[in-house]
């Protein structure tokens, strides 16, 4: 390869190919249907709420806080690998070429998130403020500039401080960005420019601290590994990721749950499967995340059909993925040394999955208790999960 730009280009193409490989399993037909229903229901609820929103609603404050927080999270995408800590050392003086490309991709891959959030808030601004179209879009371009500064700022801080106390840096940037957006929404452009200038000075300070410092390869490599591992864990909810390394947590605060499994020989597998479900991040957070999504939809969407479709789809996804995950434990386990029936684990998995889905149905049902026919959601979750558990392959 001729230079570090070629190194970045090669890795970037490999990264895009890796993401596309798993994205085709994530955005399947039934997920697309759920997303369409969610967007439609959310848009309808939002438009109906805008008709009755009070003129004194603090839209500027809320938007400034939300946008400021989103802007502050600008983790750099470096695509560095562990061997780079050795093989790229001779090129350390030229690494600025590589990081320039990395920061450009970081900006373009993250700016759309905050841009969408602000664009969605424009109807609210029109409803409760007197901002003109030009002023609204002037703030939009201000946010784009702030995002660029945020990417540069977080990179410079991580470079100089090796990522230590990154939450302090993010808090400072969130406050500065929130103030800048708030001043922009009030058309106090001079104060907004002052906030931007303060951010520029903040970046320059850490840029100067970076001068002469060695590249923190270890920090950026670990950051990249964590970022990709988060993506693989998410993709693993939809398809098998062979090289995924799952993590186990003690979660001692949930030890009281094990008391629901009576202490006797026949419940050995049930206890082990239940413990596996509670302590394994992939399994536990899968159930927690999908349950939370269903609960939020049930609580805030007052269109029963949409709530039923989403609850049914997510209960199907939860059941089939939990069942496959708990049954696919192919490594050696200590329970294999004991004379337990061959089908004991399958029975135990079925019981634990059913218990998890009953709890999910109760939580979602209680969250939607103020909605019409909320009990139908409870029934749908139980019926879909039970049918999925019986029909799906072990």
- Give 207-261 pLDDT, tens digit per residue: 999 887 888 999 999 999 989 888 887 777 666 676 666 577 778 888 888 888 8
Per-residue pLDDT tens over the stretch 255-293: 888 888 888 777 878 888 888 888 887 788 888 888 998
Q: What letter does residue 254 receive in the DSSP assignment? A: G
Structure tokens at 309: 């479709």
Name 16's Cβ contacts closer than 8 Å, sequence gap at least 6: none
Q: What is the pLDDT of residue 180?
A: 95
The pLDDT score that the predictor gives to residue 187 is 87
**What does the pLDDT read at residue 138?**
93
What pLDDT score does 345 carry? 81
| Percent above pLDDT 90 for the chain | 40
- For 13, other C-beta atoms within 10 Å of its C-beta total 10
Domain ranges of the chain: 4-234, 252-391
Which of 32 and 298 is assigned the larger pLDDT? 298
pLDDT at 98: 93
Place of tokens 């730009």: 5
Q: Answer yes or no: is pLDDT of 346 > 70.
A: yes
Per-residue pLDDT of 152-210, as tens digits, reads 999 999 999 988 899 999 999 999 999 999 999 998 888 999 999 999 999 999 999 98
What was the pLDDT predicted at 342?
A: 67
Kindly report the average pLDDT of the chain as a whole number.
86
Q: For residue 173, what pLDDT is reported?
A: 95
Least confident piece of the model among 303-307, 336-340, 356-360 = 336-340
Alpha carbons 1 and 4: distance in angstroms, whole number:
8
Q: Place 310 in a pLDDT band, splitting at 50, 70 and 90.
A: confident
Which parts of 1-154 are beta strand (E)?
A: none
Lowest model confidence (mean pLDDT) among 7-16, 34-43, 182-191, 313-322: 34-43
Measured at the alpha carbon of residue 156, what is the angle toward residues 152 and 161, in degrees to the nearest 5? 150
Radius of gyration (C-alpha) of the chain in whole angstroms: 25
Q: How confident is the model at residue 38 (pLDDT cuts 50, 70, 90)?
A: confident
Q: State whether residue 74 is helix, strand or coil.
A: coil
| pLDDT number for residue 245 | 60
pLDDT tops 80 at residue 135: yes
What is the CA 196 to chain-centroid distance, rounded?
28
CA dist 64 and 135 (Å) reads 15
């Amino acid at each position: 390869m001729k230079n570090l730009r070629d190194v970045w280009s090669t890795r970037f193409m490999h990264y895009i190919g890796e993401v596309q490989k798993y994205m085709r399993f994530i955005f399947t037909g039934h997920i697309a249907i759920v997303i369409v229903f969610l967007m439609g229901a959310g848009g309808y609820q939002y438009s109906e709420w805008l008709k009755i929103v009070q003129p004194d609603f603090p839209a500027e404050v809320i938007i400034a806080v939300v946008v400021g927080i989103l802007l502050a999270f600008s983790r750099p995408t470096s695509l560095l690998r562990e061997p780079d800590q050795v093989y790229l050392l001779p090129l350390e003086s030229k690494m600025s070429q590589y990081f320039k490309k990395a920061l450009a991709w970081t900006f373009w891959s993250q700016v759309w998130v905050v841009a969408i959030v602000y664009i969605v808030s424009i109807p609210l601004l029109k409803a409760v403020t007197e901002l003109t179209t030009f002023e609204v879009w002037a703030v939009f371009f201000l946010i784009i500039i702030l995002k660029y500064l945020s990417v540069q700022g977080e990179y410079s801080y991580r470079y100089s401080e090796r990522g230590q106390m990154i939450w302090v840096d993010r808090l400072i940037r969130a406050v500065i960005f929130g103030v800048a957006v708030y001043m922009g929404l009030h058309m106090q452009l001079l104060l907004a420019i002052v906030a931007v200038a303060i951010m520029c000075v903040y970046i320059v300070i850490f840029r100067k601290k970076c001068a002469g410092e060695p590249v923190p390869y270890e920090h950026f490599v670990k950051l990249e590994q964590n970022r990709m591992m988060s993506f693989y864990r998410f993709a693993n909810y939809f398809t098998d990721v062979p090289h995924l390394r799952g993590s186990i947590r003690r979660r001692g605060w949930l030890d009281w749950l094990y008391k629901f499994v009576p202490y006797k020989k026949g419940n050995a597998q049930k206890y082990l499967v239940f413990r596996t479900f509670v302590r394994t991040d992939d399994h536990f957070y899968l159930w927690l995340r999908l349950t939370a999504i269903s609960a939020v939809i049930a609580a805030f969407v007052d269109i029963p059909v949409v709530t039923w479709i989403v609850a049914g789809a997510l209960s199907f996804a939860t059941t089939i993925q939990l069942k496959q995950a708990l049954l696919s434990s192919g490594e050696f386990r200590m329970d294999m040394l004991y004379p337990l029936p061959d089908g004991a684990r399958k029975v135990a998995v079925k019981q634990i999955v059913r218990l998890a889905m009953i709890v999910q149905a109760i939580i979602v049902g209680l969250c939607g208790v103020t909605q019409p026919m909320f009990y139908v959601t409870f029934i749908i979750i139980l019926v879909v999960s039970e049918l999925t558990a019986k029909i799906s392959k072990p």
